[in-house]
Structure 1
Amino acid sequence: MTTLTLSATSTPTSTQPSRNLLRDIRIVMTRELKPVLRDPFSLLFGMIQPLIFLALFGPLLSGSMGGTFGDGVWQWFVPSILVMTTLFGTSTTGANLLFEFQTGAHERMLVTPLSRSSLLIGRALKEMVPLFGQAVIVIAVMTPFAFDLHLGGALIGLALLAVFGVGLGSFSYALAIAVRKQDWMFWVVQQTFLFPLMILSGMLLPLETGPGWMRVASKFNPLSYVVDAERTLFSGDVLSSAVLWGWVAAIVTAALGLTVGIRAMLRSAD
């Protein structure tokens, strides 16, 4: 009697390809940029507010406080407008994520093999592209009006705004995730923090002539260091201590924003 012996054959197992964070970030960023590229009018529409401030608020500063600004009112005010554009643009990005919650698009993204961190970082980096385009337009418009452009300082200033904007955008996404069941709360919290940060940064009016408590409060406002750094960079001084403190504020904001935002994104998958 013979027995049939079957030899065990090893079945090849398919290994899941390792995730590449940079690749995932690029995929998410490209996905988020497609609507902007298909509708460039939204970029031009976003220019209305900063151009109105330049056209109406700038002459008021020049007429009432012209002697306060050593290098001219535009050297002082144009960097402020660029910071304001970044502040307004990135702090409202969470509204896009709220819309994706309502349509179910975010849940569909969660079932993809993309890393959860890339879903936030890619979205935050996407916001820098239209903001960079808007900054170029503002600089181009103001250069003929006695605004002295120092290209090296301007490029460093835009890079500084990009780092700071990534942090603000991450906080905005984290807020959207936290209030996704009560989306109206997003605008309440966003507006509550937006205007005190803006006023206490000296963005629109110099704080040197303000009350002492405002000058003290501005020391705890990271936005004030970014504003000072931008004004210094756009004046051509790239080695000032103000620039160093601006980078510290931007990097700390980005690190905290990404940490909070990524944790919120991971929890949104539960």
Structure 2
Amino acid sequence: MKLARDTWLIFQRQFMLLARNPVWVFVGVFQPVMYLLLFAPLLKPALAPLGATTNAQTYRIFVPGLLVLLAIFGGLFQGFGLIAELRAGVIERSRVTPVSRFALLLGRSLRDVVSLLAQAVIITLLALAFGLRVQIGNLLLAYLLLALIALMTSTLSYGVALRVKSEDALAPLMNTVAQPVLLLSGILLPLAFAPSWLRRVADWNPFSWAVDGARALFAGHIGDDSVWQGLTVIGVIAVLAVVWAAREFARSVR
């Protein structure tokens, strides 16, 4: 009960800070919108071998990957704000409060999840104008998958930020992680186009499972194995990431 109350208090404070400066929500969504407007129209000929002969079919393949991209990159770079709080002494002052150390992490991460879901809704609404069609139940389950990805990546970013304590170290580290993750997840183009050795390597990338699951949901195949496999894989890793990052928070504020 105390954990839930403390988490809610931290979430309220963090969300209030975000609400005072909502421009960051739109800054975060700018690059995916550019992909949606300027890159997606080029894909219909490329995706024709997969049966994407209409705009609706093209966007059902592309938009899920784009949303996963948003959740990955939006979460991985949340640690920069935490480093600023470390430098300002905010985390240090948390030592004298009775707030749960786990809540300090979870409240921040839930704020990030809400922010990224808001951006995902904006992307989806724009894609509807270009012909995307998706069932509401499948869409909500896809948003659950995105929420787990955002929770996982943001907590990992916070944990790493507490370790390195420097933007100069965090930026190249996150970029080094994000680049192969992007290329081996089939976000921009399905891995069906990839050679067999590349698909085997991608099987070790949990985000490729998430992309497959999200695409199955957008295609209306809620019972597809990839949906539950993606939710399970991402859910387990998210729990492990939260536990590890919470320990880093406990070490930093005790």
Q: Give the structure-1-normalised TM-score.
A: 0.89
Is 1:52 the counterpart of 2:25 in the alignment? no
Q: 2:153 aligns with which of 168, 191, 200?
A: 168
Q: 1:218 aligns with which of 187, 195, 202?
A: 202
What's the counterpart of residue 115 of structure 1? 100
Distance, in Å, in 2 between the alignment partners of 1:188 and 1:159 is: 29
Aligned in 2, Cα 1:98/1:69: closer, same or farther, shift over 3 Å? farther
**By percentage of residues, which structure has more helix?**
2
Distance, in Å, in 1 between the alignment partners of 2:129 and 2:171 is: 37
Q: Is the 8 A contact 1:69 1:76 kept in 2?
A: no
What's the counterpart of residue 249 of structure 2? 265
Is 1:78 the counterpart of 2:63 in the alignment? yes
What's the counterpart of residue 158 of structure 1? 143
Is 1:134 the counterpart of 2:119 in the alignment? yes
What's the counterpart of residue 238 of structure 2? 254
1:66 to partner: Cα distance: 3.0
Distance, in Å, in 1 between the alignment partners of 2:68 and 2:193 is: 21
Where 1:268 maps in the other structure, the secondary structure is: helix
Q: Is the 8 A contact 2:116 2:150 kept in 1?
A: no
Distance, in Å, in 1 between the alignment partners of 2:41 and 2:164 is: 40
CA shift digits 1:52-71 (9 cap, x unpaired): 01112212222333333447
What's the counterpart of residue 183 of structure 2? 199
> Which letter does structure 1 place at the counterpart of 2:104?
L
Distance, in Å, in 1 between the alignment partners of 2:253 and 2:20 is: 29
Where 1:203 maps in the other structure, the secondary structure is: coil
What's the counterpart of residue 32 of structure 1? 14
Distance, in Å, in 2 between the alignment partners of 1:227 and 1:111 is: 43
1:194 to partner: Cα distance: 0.4
Distance, in Å, in 2 between the alignment partners of 1:122 and 1:73 is: 37
Where 1:143 maps in the other structure, the secondary structure is: helix
Relative contact order, CA 8 A, sep 6+: which one is greater? 2
> Which letter does structure 1 place at the counterpart of 2:241?
G
Q: 2:78 aligns with which of 86, 89, 93?
A: 93
Q: Give the structure-2-normalised TM-score.
A: 0.94
Aligned length: 251
Distance, in Å, in 2 between the alignment partners of 1:64 and 1:74 is: 12
Aligned in 2, Cα 1:23/1:218: closer, same or farther, shift over 3 Å? same
Q: Is the 8 A contact 1:66 1:72 kept in 2?
A: no
Unaligned runs of 5+ in 1: 1-18
Larger Rg: 1
What's the counterpart of residue 63 of structure 1? 45
CA shift digits 1:145-196 (9 cap, x unpaired): 121121000001101211221111111100000101x431111110001010
Distance, in Å, in 2 between the alignment partners of 1:153 and 1:84 is: 19
Q: Is the 8 A contact 1:228 1:243 kept in 2?
A: yes
